[in-house]
Amino acid sequence: GGAYIKTYLKNENILVYDFGAGTLDISVIQLEWEDRTPRRIKDNGWKIKGRIGIPIAGNYIDEIIARIVDELLQDDSLWKGCISYKRPLVAKNYIANDKFYHESISRFWKGLKDMKHIWDGENQFKIPIYWGSEIGIVGINNEKLKNEKPSMLDDYNICIPAHYIMNHPEMNAFINFVTVEILDELFGSMEGISKGQIDTLVISGRGSLWCGIVDKVTKEQFPNARFFDGLKSPDIMKEA
């Protein structure tokens, strides 16, 4: 907090961008500081100038990635007969008579979430799809795998090129929505404050760890606002 309030402004406009797992909440708060010395910091009050929230956020990125994996696994030409897609990630009906279905899907989702929080947006996005024996969303033909290894398969992980995820139409549309369109709607509904008048930017929530989110908000939407980039881990983001 001290990094933000040690400013010498009469009024300070703060935008809080909280991009969590399930919701995106954005607020614009105006603080009025009294005249003070560096050792005395006191506000004369604050007002919420505008807010907007939507029930969709970081978890939706997981869904997009799962649909990308589903698309790729359905393309037999990529796998050269080395795998069979036997437990679809996108299905109309639950496979009730498959006792390994739930564990296989659960392990896939855990691997996806773990990778999502550490991915740099440049290297391949790797998610485990097979764990041996009966557990996995795919079956493996080890004989064919010995002779010809698909480029997107490594140690039973599906390895998706970064550009394929970042440039996927659905991903592009969602990122643009949460970093541009929703902010345009908020500022279009407020009077007296424009994007250029935001002094301080606070970003929180685990969803904002997705590569590119912070840069798009800070550098493209609020390039002149102060931003304290001190929250890195998923747990700290959630607490914030």
Tell me the pLDDT tens digit for each residue of 41-98: 566 678 999 999 999 999 999 999 999 999 999 999 999 999 999 999 987 766 778 8
Least confident window among 25-34, 184-193, 217-226: 25-34
| Spatial separation of the C-alpha atoms in residues 70 and 75, rounded to whole Å | 9
| Spatial separation of the C-alpha atoms in residues 112 and 107, rounded to whole Å | 9
- pTM for the model stands at 0.86
pLDDT at 232: 57
Q: What average pLDDT does the segment 152-170 reach?
A: 95
Tell me: the pLDDT tens digits for 87-125?
Answer: 999 877 667 788 899 999 999 999 999 999 889 999 999
Report the sign of the C-alpha dihedral through residues 103, 106, 110, 116, in that order: positive
pLDDT at 16: 95
pLDDT at 114: 93
At 13, list the tokens. Answer: 């406009």
pLDDT over threshold 70, residue 37: no
Tell me if 103 sits within 8 A of 189, measured CB to CB.
Answer: no
Torsion of CA 85, 57, 233, 68, to 10 degrees: 20
Which band of pLDDT confidence, cut at 50, 70 and 90, is reported for residue 240?
Answer: low
Report the sign of the C-alpha dihedral through residues 70, 71, 76, 77, in that order: negative
